[in-house]
Amino acid sequence: MARIAVEDRRQLLIDAAWRVLVRDGLANLTTRSVAAEAQMPQGAFHYCFSSKDELLTTLVSGAVAELGEHSAHPVAPGDADLHSILRDTIDALWRRIVAPPEKQLALYELTVYAVRNGATDLPASQYRGYFAAATRLLDAVADAAEVTWTAPTDSLARLIVSVIDGVGLTWLTDHDDEAAQRVLALLVSQLESSAINR
């Protein structure tokens, strides 16, 4: 393989790890399979990452950061009202789960793996990131709709994460789009009832 910078090589391994994880599942993600997917010798993996666990932490951190990038900007076309902003924003979050669903399934696998193996720092950090992203989203929605939340935003953020997470896991088992949309509509109603005009 041509000489490339360590950071570029790390990114190639991260991209390869996602492909292996989404395609084959966590049980089949090994340093050897990731290196092979990236078309690198296995030694290149250990040059870039100290362990498989470091790679997994990097995958989760990247997914949380990606979510954070999208959370600061609610969907607010024109002079939309609070209901429309919430509905479209929650729908946008939902679409990130179902397209493609394999990536969300992989994230669930990573979370359960970490908890099962006593690496609770990883899922704790993951969910802190989710809660922070949801809090930023609530702040942005409040600004766009010119409302104030009547419930603590940290509780509302946890509500959003818990509902989206639960609906996502349920949907992965039954693929019932209509049922998922009904629950998400209830979430929008709950959030809407927790706001007053400024």
- How far does the chain reach from its first CA to its final CA, in angstroms? 60
Locate 144 and state its tokens: 């766009």
pLDDT, residue 71, reads 64
pTM: 0.84
Separation CA 60–CA 123 (nearest Å): 8
pLDDT, residue 189, reads 97
Angstrom CA distances, 140 to 80, 179, 189, 196, stand at 14, 28, 18, 15
DSSP 27: G
pLDDT, residue 125, reads 85
pLDDT, residue 48, reads 93
* Block mean pLDDT (10 aa), the chain, length 198: 79 95 92 95 91 88 77 68 92 84 87 82 86 92 94 97 94 95 97 96
pLDDT, residue 97, reads 80
Which residue intervals of 25-120 are DSSP H helices?
Answer: 31-37, 42-48, 52-71, 82-98, 101-116
In one-letter notation, the amino acid at residue 45 is F
Residues paired with 197 in a beta bridge: 147
CB 113 within 8 A of CB 47: no
pLDDT, residue 2, reads 56
Q: Kindly report the CA angle at 146 between 141 and 150, in degrees rounded to 5? A: 75
